[in-house]
Structure 1
């Protein structure tokens, strides 16, 4: 069976990544590409690397006929996404890549994103899209809220350990490095090559990064009590990739064993042998996440490192993985490509 797909926000990085992934999918056909800022343009003119694909031109979102669409990916900015999704057909399956439906509490959404939520009905039905932890709920969902790429990386490293009670919940440090594509495709002065290259800097210091809302929500739920991690993101001069280094109190070997057990049947999560550390270069362009554990020289402390591609496993690949489940397709379809190297 073939399913008709629409992508809203197709002119951004995550939109392009969705198109790249779906182009190799045996059961999906892209029927509509929404991109208001580039409406009327061909995909080849917007993304020359995809010119070999036979795809429709970009159009304004209101011009799309959703009556024949089985599933829609929304790769739109925060706030815009909730406004658009609230107007889509109530029977349409949707995977949203923005932050608009990730937080279950509307007050928490307003706290982290600075505006009241305007689609509370849809927010109430949304399922959090971290596939490995919400697989059964995602299968039955109409609306899935994709996670933040930083939030996904940290949760892959820490969620099984919090759930198993293996680490000190009051002493978790998450030091994360993210490539520049995580900031989107819009022109920003601080992301110009001359401003960013040959440098490396921390941002959102002191617990102000919006993905902390997801960490607070998910980790506290797993622990049954409030959990707040100390989190500092860094922007690195690379196009793709996230590397998260987590410093925790706990037995290193027990932590490694728990991650191996948790992910032993997961097709996209690779737990490396004890003592080995992952690298972003080994997951680039793929839907894989690599995890590594080592002990520290201070007894009773461990270092957990996670690496994934922010555009694939952290966003568009995760979205396609969820869409496969929602449509009853093999979860790995279109996603088993090997990482790019070098």
Structure 2
């Protein structure tokens, strides 16, 4: 599974940064996110880029203000969207079981679980620890706050865990992002919050927040290829978008990317051509001139673009443009 994450996680954070009057351009660039993140219709973004965004957000705002912004983004966007799918759950345990399935859609390679631990349970996420990744601890901070905010929203309480586990070897940088009464246990196999057994069996009544009208229910239908398309689409018009660059974006080897594409009957060139054709089609449908679209997607001439577009779609770009005059 490619390391990608639902794009709402990044766009909600960036939206709140902009509301505070912060110029997010440099932060987007430093994180490795696509510069047109607001315009892209992608469903997934590279996971590493979102982790880096968390890191630069905390470095810019500090622990207290960074945490305040992250919690606002969670409460405004991420948590309500998850709650909307929990209306048939009767206990916290049932709700968290369903949350795990939903998170596996939003962060496909995640290993989230609810398992017994001592006299309670641990609601946790396990990720391969990269000791060279300075953004890893901020991903743990974000993970813990997602868990806490979800449980607070589901139980309609101000619940806080008495103890949390983290994978990082040192938790000194993240302790300041949480209330002082929470005990941290570092260097564990997974990151998570300890939940009392009695709380899990507690009856709940989900308060549903209306979803945005333009939000689509992406469900469980995104497979490896659709995730790859979504993650790579914002980058495909880069000057040097080749197999090596694509593999770098989604954090796999070139050989792995080729093999996985081959398993789905597609080559890298076909993937790249299809992505470019998709972007071109979108621009044509918005009324852009064929000549302008040809330049936008990197072709030296209109005739070259027209031949390529017709080969992929079966239609001449001029016919698409005429339909939308």
Q: TM-score range by the shorter chain?
A: under 0.3
Task: State TM-score, norm by structure 1.
Answer: 0.23
Q: TM-score, length-normalised on structure 2?
A: 0.24
Structure ID, larger Rg: 2
Which structure shows the higher helix fraction?
Answer: 2
